[in-house]
Amino acid sequence: MACTKLTSMRVSRLLLSALALTVAACSDKSASPAPGEPVTIVFKHGKLFGDPRAFDALIKRFEDNHTGIRVRTESLPASSDEQHQFYVINLRAASADFDVMALDVIWVAEFARAGWLNDLTETFVPADRKNFFKGPLAAIRYQDRTYAIPWFIDAGVLYYRKDLLAKYEFEPPRTWEELSNIAAAIKQREPGMYGFVWQGKQYEGLICNALEYIWSAGGDAVRDGRVVLDSPENRRALGFMRALVHERGISPELVTTATEEPSRRIFGSGKAVFMRNWPYAWTLFEQPNSPVKGKVGITALPHFSGHDSAATLGGWQLGVSKYSRHPKEAAVFAQFMTSAEALKALALAYGLNPSRRTLYDDPDLIAAQPHMAQLRATFEHARPRPVTPQYVRVSQVLQSEFSAVVAGLKPPEDALASAQHQVEAILKR
Amino acid sequence: MKRLGFYAGLILVAGYCLAPVLWQLITSLRPAPELTALPPLLPSRVTAEHYAAVFAGHPFGRIILNSLIVSAGATLIALGFGSATAFALAKLRAKGQAVILGIVLATSMFPPIATVSPLYIVVNALGLRDTLIALVIVYAGLALPLAVWVLTNFMRQVPDELYAAARVDGATPLQAFYRVMLPLSAPGLVATGLLVFILSWNEFLYALTFTATTRSRTIPVGIALFPGLHEIPWGEIAAASLVVTLPIVLLVLLFQRRIVEGLTAGAVKG
Amino acid sequence: MIMSLRALAAKPAAFLAPAAVMLAAVTVYPILYVLWLSLQRHSLIAGPASFVGFDNFARLIGDGRFWNALANTVYFTALSVAGELMLGLVIALLLAHAFRGYGTMRAITLLPWAIPTVVAARMWEWMYNGDFGVINYLLGTDVNWLGSPVWAIHAAIAMDIWKSTPFVALLLLAGRLAIATDLYQAARLDGAGPWALFRYVTLPLLRPLIFIVLIFRTIDAFRVFDAIYVLTGGGPANTTETVSIYAYKVLFQGLEFGYGSALAAAVFVCVAAITAVYVWLLRRSLA
């Protein structure tokens, strides 16, 4: 035993010397390469689910076409919060370790304000801009300059069991009342089924869900720079959300803890009539062993009568770090990754919906995803969450308040009044 | 009767600790379509697809190796420095013991989420980003308060006469330290070592912040990279979580025997 | 040269130095930095930082969300630590005997601690699910564990107790094994039964270690972040939001590094206060 401990002391001393050496050796302050040597840029992005070969092939194609640039890709965990935290820590320390980043649509204004993004107004030329959906175009601007290029897009859609609706002779609902009635009717006749599952956990997804009710009731969170949370339309919307769970029993209580995957799994095992989710779930429902294969339809989300359907905009954009040592090359890479060719490859390989509207007529993409037309219609009208540098902070307030409503702890009036007060204070700063 | 109660207690404890792990095991062997099917508690058939996916889809072998190096390094340093400190406090009558112990403890009272940002600035400035060394040093530092306190306690319990006897025999403090004190604090060393090892094995926040590529990626970050933008592969995560507990189990089995041996083989205790 | 090195190696300072240097670099510097930040108004998206003295702390005192988080944290810590301590002590005493399968039992009891926290949290999230979760299935209930304002924090506490009991058990077992068997033999010869053995031999000799375990578990439980964040994200409606989670949201979602640092400092103050109480209690019980 004594020998082991002596060895451990020696090992400790060894490690200390190793440390000294490593500090010298691992110093990653890469000097600028000699002219003629290729430049290496780092592309930091959230994990893409699926076979990495398609992605690697895309990168290789870029490198082949741009012999002076080498690209190294680094994955971050897919969780938006974890990525946000990573970027905040790194960019606050002015880290030069990555050049191109994939940004969640709600971060762009915030990062631009913090001075972490390069101005890409010159790179993302107006002639190309009209090829993209309007929603992301609004989200990437801050003080009339552009700070990111839209990469891929997401928006909320309504999934429904077309077999059940056909069986009981219902059409897909257009209003929330219709959805509620249809769900109630089918629930009665199909025991053990949930009516409608969605994401009600206290997290960002809850805001995406809630805004869809709010907007489709004619309300809003921020309009023309003014906070309009405390309004009769919003009260109606939140009241309806709460009623879904607590009064009408259309949605099971577990939606108050559901995120995308749990709700997807419940619907995918055939236990729900309706689901609100992002378009990604469709491909999973059409897998060979899926219990709901061939039984699922997609349509636009319902609305309150007298208003229009609304879908919250999601998706990711590509930005260039202010601290990048190779901003020009990074911008070139960002342009490539958002080109029609790259977006199509990513759509086919990973099911990521392109942010270019022109691709939605592409026959290959339509073959892979039969709902392209419906998705295009939804994406055309997808609305971004309030575009302000303070959005993430505002979202924290809204998450608290909306979660209290959905959990039945606070009536919508109180929650909205409190939210109005807090958000006004935040946006004033 | 007492023996029956004793064995019943053991079974209860084993069940309590094992039940969720067993469920995780069952989940990891379920075919993908049946993952959320629950009436059948047991799957219709057993599949190894998730285990294969863990290693096929990710450089998991390398990630486990990284974790091994980091955890072993941090444990050795924490035990080495911690036992030295404990020795000084327990036997060498260092002045201001209460103050020293208090300061050591105080350093562990801050939430890591607050200290991660300044620590990152340091790591970045030293060019130690994406290196194993950075993690080894940080984890050792985080584990020191526990090591110091526990080992001080164990060393205090070693009778002073034994230490005095060794010194009288002509040993320097250093020699008395590793010939007498360390062996007699074996239970504390092994327990602390295991806890520090596991702490380093499972640490997530600093690992996420300081690592970037598989060069230094550790297990918790590796597993965090399993899910995609929306998709979460529960089967793979279950499989991976079991695979990564194996080294720990082996470690425990290996070391716990050492304690018992060390104690029963002529322990020099009053 | 060697002589003076020997002399150096005999001084307590030489033994204290390595740990001191390491702590200074890894923890002391970041802590001082955080304390410095807590005196600033420093939002990453609102211009340069400015020194504001104790304004952040004044704001903290008036912040309802902070007090809610603090209450949740105290409740969580109290129940978790109490549960872990009792359960850990029982397990430690059970395992302190020699029996067949001793090694396997020790490995089994360490398993919950050995699983990474974020993985364990996902595991429990899976088990607690209202629809396909095995807990509802086995209990035959239909409780919305993680989405109920009443149950969520208790679900988190149950998970933490399961996860952290091995920590307590392992340390107390090591302490128990370090107690000389002769003491027990002598006491048994004097006619002491199992309860008396526990009360007059085990407990007094284990007391310092129990105290250490209490301190460290309290410190960890008070700072809990990963486990609850993965399990509930602080919801529903902030009913499981601990001070660490609130600080995380302020720091990394609100980008308010000044106020977030003040929250972290508040955690430190609370934990230090609790520890001081423990020390005082220990002194009293030893006197």
pLDDT, tens digit (0-9, with 9 covering 90-100), for C19-53: 999 998 899 999 999 999 999 999 988 878 899 98
Q: Residue A285: CB partners within 8 Å, gap ≥ 6?
A: A159, A267, A268, A292, A293, A296
> Lowest-confidence range among A23-32, A279-288, B133-142?
A23-32
Q: What is the mean pLDDT of chain A?
A: 90
Paired tokens of A295: 């039984």
* Residue A205: both structure tokens together: 């997804």
What integer pLDDT is reported at residue C199 of this predicted model? 85
Closest residue of A to B127, CA-based? A27
CA dist A292 → A93, A271, A272, A413, B231 (Å): 48, 10, 10, 39, 17
Q: Characterize the bridge pairing of strands A39-46 and A100-104.
A: parallel
| Cα A331 to Cα A99: distance, rounded to the nearest angstrom | 9
Q: Do A407 and C233 touch (CB under 8 A)?
A: no
Output A208 or C44, whichever has higher pLDDT.
A208
- Chains near B with 3+ CB pairs less than 8 A apart are A, C
Residues of A in contact with B209 (CB under 8 A): 85-86, 89-90
Nearest to C249 among A255, A256, A396 (CB): A396
Q: What is d(CA A362, CA A340) in angstroms, rounded to the nearest whole number?
A: 10
**A260·B230 Cβ contact <8 A:** yes
Q: Which residues of A touch C237 (CB under 8 A)?
A: 202, 400, 403-404, 407, 409-410
Confidence of residue A381 (pLDDT cuts 50, 70, 90): very high
User: In chain C, what are the domain boundaries?
Assistant: 36-286
Task: Test A47 with B225 for CB contact under 8 angstroms.
Answer: yes
Instruction: Report pLDDT for A26.
Output: 43
Contacts of A120 (CB under 8 A, 6+ apart): A146, A147, A148, A149, A319, A320, A331, A334
- pLDDT value of position C3: 55
Cβ neighbours around B265 below 10 Å, total: 7
Using DSSP's 3-state secondary structure scheme, residue C224 falls into: coil
What angle do the packed helices C12-23 and C2-10 form, to 10 degrees? 70
Cβ atoms < 10 Å from Cβ of B68: 16
C253 touches chain A (CB under 8 A): yes
Q: What ipTM does the predicted assembly reach?
A: 0.88
Any C CB within 8 A of B150 CB: yes
| C174: chain B residues, CB-CB within 8 Å | 154, 187-188, 190-191, 259
C-alpha distance from A404 to closest chain C C-alpha (Å):
4
pLDDT tens figures, A37-58 = 889 999 999 998 888 899 999 9
pLDDT at A75 over 70: yes
- Tokens 């990564």 belong to B244
Distances (CA, A) of B34 to B28, B80, B232: 11, 49, 15
Predicted TM-score (pTM) of the model is 0.90
- Residue B112 distance to chain C (closest CA, Å): 8
Task: For residue C156, list chain A residues with Cβ-Cβ distance below 8 A.
Answer: none
pLDDT at position A5 over 60 = no
Note whether C115 contacts B21, CB cutoff 8 Å.
Answer: yes
- By the 8 A CB rule, do B259 and B187 touch? yes
Q: Which residues of A touch C249 (CB under 8 A)?
A: 396
CA atoms within 13 A on the CB side of B239: 25
Ordered structural domains, chain B, with CATH? 1-47 (no CATH), 58-264 (1.10.3720.10)
Question: What is the reported pLDDT for C2?
Answer: 55
Q: Between chains, do C254 and A265 touch, taking CB under 8 Å as contact?
A: no
Residue A272: strand pairing partners: A194
Which segment of A17-26, A258-267, C26-35 scores lowest on mean pLDDT? A17-26
Taking an 8 Å cut-off on Cβ atoms, the answer to whether C237 and A395 are in contact is no
Q: What is the pLDDT of residue A207?
A: 97
- Residue contact C45–A113, C-beta within 8 A: yes
Chain-chain contact of C255 with A393 (C-beta, under 8 angstroms): yes
Stretch(es) of chain A classified as CATH 3.40.190.10: 39-154+315-380, 157-310+390-428
Chains that touch A (3 or more CB pairs under 8 A): B, C
In tens, the pLDDT along B196-220 reads: 999 999 999 999 999 989 999 999 9
Nearest-by-Cβ selection for A201 from C44, C233, C248: C233
Specify whether domain A39-154+315-380 bears CATH 3.40.190.10.
Answer: yes
SS3 of A150-194: the string is EEEEEECEEEEEHHHHHHCCCCCCCEHHHHHHHHHHHHHHCCCCE
Please state which architecture CATH assigns to domain C36-286: Orthogonal Bundle (1.10)
Q: How many CB atoms lie within 10 A of CB A218?
A: 18
Enter the CATH code of domain A157-310+390-428: 3.40.190.10
pLDDT of residue B187: 82
